Amino acid sequence: MELELTEEQRELRDGVRRVLEAQCPPALARAVHERGETGAALWRQMGALAWPGIAIDEGLGGLGLGAVELCLVAEELGRAVAPGPFLATATQLAPLLQEAGASPLAQPLLRRIAEGALTGSVALAEDERWEPARVACRARRAGQGFVLRGRKSGVFDGATAEEIAVVARADEGLGVFLVPGGAAKATPRTLLDPTLALADLVFEDVAVPAERVVLAPGAAAERAAVRALEVATVALALATVGTCRRIFETTLDYVKLRRQYGRPIGSFQALKHRLADMVLAVERATALGYFAAATLAEDDPRRAEAAALAKAEAGDCQRLVVAEGLQLHGGLGFTWEHDLHLFLKRAKCGDALLGSAVEQRARLAHRLGLGAA
């Protein structure tokens, strides 16, 4: 097992970081918080650099790389607290469309995503649970097509995405249905971190013609929804780790700089040990995130387990790093003016969305045979 980036992956990561340092400084996230800036220019730039299509086939205009590279971009976006439709479009919708294979519906959409010409999302969660097995939203057959009725919650970019793939239950099982943005009644959520956008959707008999069925209801569609969710989960896990690494680095810089009692506070052992624990938390979450990304890239049978563990670890990592980062910055980190809170809030989002550490651990307990008989 070689869990280190290849030369090409390192170059990619460094390149993405350079662009984001220039185009997505904390001032951008702050502008989103304070002035409702949307980051549209950043998204255009990402499209020009072909990031949305990083894991889309070259034949469809993508870069033809894999889950590892996709997750590396997500990690850097997390590090930069980047706003915009990348997570929803490239880590949620695109992987689900890819599960549809050579579909005449999915392929043109993937081509447009790769061009940066389409934003999209996946409407899966209900009652804040990202679990395909619990989906209750109905897909009723109507002629050749379907009619959707039900509620979805916490849909990334749910009020703005141009195309939304809805996971809904028909008589034959789960299916995936594509609806244009605006087809459902969207209620945007007001988030503590507006660099992410969530909306709750209500489908009141939304008609889906046959040619907009991404995956026909049945076991294969359910499996596809699960697999695509694994990709989105690992991408968000690494995005969260990226945010945590930034908090850690900022905190480390601060304790080296801040002086009290005539010396840097980072020279006190009580703080040193906490920073050692922080770096351990960040490094182990990174390593498990990369392992999970590699299982996706190689379609290894451990991918479900690895994705759940990566997300659980990212959640634990933010738990420690957010608390210590805020505490060790003292009064400074407690102010609105300091950028720290931009990162802290994003890190919390990273745990709460797509299944928190608590939920992932419960899932792992079942997988390991520790659940109810």
Note the residues at the interface with another protein (CB under 8 A). 1-6, 9, 68, 252, 255-256, 263-264, 266-269, 271-273, 275-277, 279-280, 283-284, 286-288, 290-291, 293-295, 297-298, 300, 309, 312-313, 361-362, 364-365, 368-373
Residue closer to another protein by CB (options 82, 255) is: 255
Give the CB-side neighbour count of residue 242, counting CA atoms within 13 A. Answer: 24
Contact 154, 125 (CB under 8 A): yes
Smallest separation (angstroms) from another protein to the CB of 298: 5
Smallest separation (angstroms) from another protein to the CB of 188: 34
Contact 67, 293 (CB under 8 A): yes
Smallest separation (angstroms) from another protein to the CB of 91: 17
Measured between alpha carbons, how far is 85 from 196 in angstroms, rounded to an integer? 9
Residue closer to another protein by CB (options 72, 347) is: 72
Question: Would you state the structure tokens that stand for residue 230, as one six-digit string?
Answer: 């694994």
Give the CB-side neighbour count of residue 279, counting CA atoms within 13 A. Answer: 9
Smallest separation (angstroms) from another protein to the CB of 99: 21
Residue closer to another protein by CB (options 31, 364) is: 364
Q: Residue 343: CB partners within 8 Å, gap ≥ 6?
A: 81, 243, 246, 247, 250, 325
Residue closer to another protein by CB (options 153, 233) is: 233
Smallest separation (angstroms) from another protein to the CB of 1: 5
Nearest of 188, 62, 186 to residue 117 by alpha carbon: 62
Contact 159, 172 (CB under 8 A): no
Smallest separation (angstroms) from another protein to the CB of 130: 19
Residue closer to another protein by CB (options 116, 315) is: 315
Largest Cα span, the chain: 79
Smallest separation (angstroms) from another protein to the CB of 255: 7
Residue closer to another protein by CB (options 68, 354) is: 68
Smallest separation (angstroms) from another protein to the CB of 364: 5
Contact 115, 54 (CB under 8 A): no
Question: Would you state the structure tokens that stand for residue 284, as one six-digit string?
Answer: 């182990």
Give how far Cα 126 sits from Cα of 155, 299, 349, Å. Answer: 9, 27, 17
**DSSP bridge pairs for 123:** 166
Question: Would you state the structure tokens that stand for residue 22, as one six-digit string?
Answer: 């220039």
Measured between alpha carbons, how far is 317 from 261 in angstroms, rounded to an integer? 31
